[in-house]
Amino acid sequence: MTGEQPGPAEENWRAPGSAPAPQPRYGEYAPDSVPPPPPPPPYPYGQQGYGQQAYGAPPPYGQQPGWTPPPKPGLVPLRPLSFGTLIGAPFQVLRRNPKVTVGAALLIQGIPQAIVSLLIIGGVTLLFSRVDNASAADQGALQAGAVGWAIVLGLVSILVSAVSTSLLQGIVVNEVARETLGEKLTLGSLWRLTRSRIGALIGWTLLLSVALTVGVGVLATIAVVIFAGGQAMIGAGVAYSVVAGLGAVVVVWLNTKLALVPSAIVLERLGIGASMARSWGLTRGFFWKTLGVIVLIGLIVYFVTQIITTPIALVGGFVTILVNPTGLGPSASDPSVAQVFLSQLGINVISTVVSAVIGAVMAVVQSSAVALIYLDLRMRKEGLDLHLIRFVEARQSGVAGLPDPYQPAEPPAAATAPPGT
């Protein structure tokens, strides 16, 4: 019948004596079949999906192809931070913008601390040298005056330390926040961001210093009273030592819970009370991680400081031996006394200056670590990383007048009912 399609049997029929149809070889398709579409081209180098087993291979089941890690416009990637990042990034702060970080450390804390320390050393030495050279009748009054002036110098040192520490904390917190967004500001720009929060920062530092001083003073006074009782108070003294040790644990706990107060004061522009509540809430559930980072950074800073300052102290001891190998002479008029005094004074001055400078630079590392803990906890609890990503994308798109991404979003104002309803 003409016009009909041949069936399967007719397709396979061939005339007698004709050559058989060629059979496809292994791996080839039949002549009349439609081959499948070619596989997609492999991913370009460096753009394959995260976690692929081989170059150009499709991603594992359940994983989206072409996944890229969170953006890292600056200091750290915009995602919750790992423990290793929290330990390593504070040291990168010094390297990424050394003119600002090291410069701020020297200008704000290092130089003032060195000057105050030298004044205290010179003042105390002068005051008590007068006591030693005075007559027996005048020694009591001079000694009381020397103690009084020593206390005044100590209070001045605490005040200068509080002010300089507050200024440096504010600068460093803003530097870490802006470096996270890929911004590299000058010291003047950071100061303009920080200056309105200096009062709250100084108030918080003084409050913390006074609370710690009063607490230590009360514990020391009670210890003196107890141990002054002699053998009869040994048991009470041992019990009190245990209680005082528990008090030290409480101090560490409170310091960890309130470690984020400076960051909240600077970035969220909160008052002291609100910042304390903010730090308390952010560290809830992350106490041990916060304490671990603070303690480990503190140990690293301590060992680095000792590595730098210990050789200076050793050199000072060798210089004293070289200047006066046989010891001081029998009288104060001996020339070796003046030589030893001058050599020791020079070594003390050098050691004080170096310690102040190294301490200021290491303070940048410690403040940076606390600021990064603050950012990490906000990313984990509030999705701050998403706000920062949107801010960076909008900034790259040329959008102007963007709000500060670190400021919490204000709740919408309550709608007012129209009149007559």
Report the pLDDT averaged over residues 298-310: 88
Q: Per-residue pLDDT tens for 220-233?
A: 787 777 777 667 67
Residue 121 burial (C-beta neighbours within 10 Å; 0-12, 13-18, 19+) = middle
Contact yes or no for 88/359 (Cβ under 8 A): no
Q: Per-residue pLDDT tens for 203-256?
A: 998 888 888 888 877 877 877 777 776 676 777 777 777 777 787 888 889 999
Report the pLDDT averaged over residues 19-33: 54
Residue 101 burial (C-beta neighbours within 10 Å; 0-12, 13-18, 19+) = buried
pLDDT value for 365: 92
Q: What DSSP assignment string belongs to 39-108? A: PPPPPPTT-SPTT-SSTTPPPPTT--TT--PPP-SSSS-SSPPPHHHHHHHHHHHHHHSHHHHHHHIIII
Query: Three-class SS of residue 383?
Result: coil
pLDDT value for 63: 55
pLDDT value for 420: 42
Please tell me the distance from the alpha carbon of residue 393 to that of residue 390, in angstroms, as a whole number: 5
Q: Where are the alpha helices (DSSP H) in 258-286?
A: 261-267, 272-282
pLDDT value for 25: 58
pLDDT value for 128: 64
Report the pLDDT averaged over residues 189-195: 90
Report the pLDDT averaged over residues 330-343: 55
Report the pLDDT averaged over residues 152-170: 81
Q: Measure Cα distances from 320 to 125, 260, 338, 342, 352 in Å.
A: 19, 45, 11, 10, 17
Contact yes or no for 79/376 (Cβ under 8 A): no
pLDDT value for 213: 82
Higher pLDDT, 285 or 218: 285
**Residue 326 pLDDT exceeds 70:** no
Which residues, at least 6 apart from 412, have a Cβ–Cβ distance to it below 8 Å?
Answer: none
**Residue 288 pLDDT exceeds 90:** yes
Higher pLDDT, 278 or 237: 278
Q: Per-residue pLDDT tens for 255-277?
A: 999 999 999 999 999 999 999 99
Please tell me the distance from the alpha carbon of residue 78 to that of residue 101, in angstroms, as a whole number: 22
Contact yes or no for 167/263 (Cβ under 8 A): no
Q: Per-residue pLDDT tens for 55-99?
A: 344 555 555 555 566 778 888 999 999 999 999 999 999 888 888
pLDDT value for 412: 40
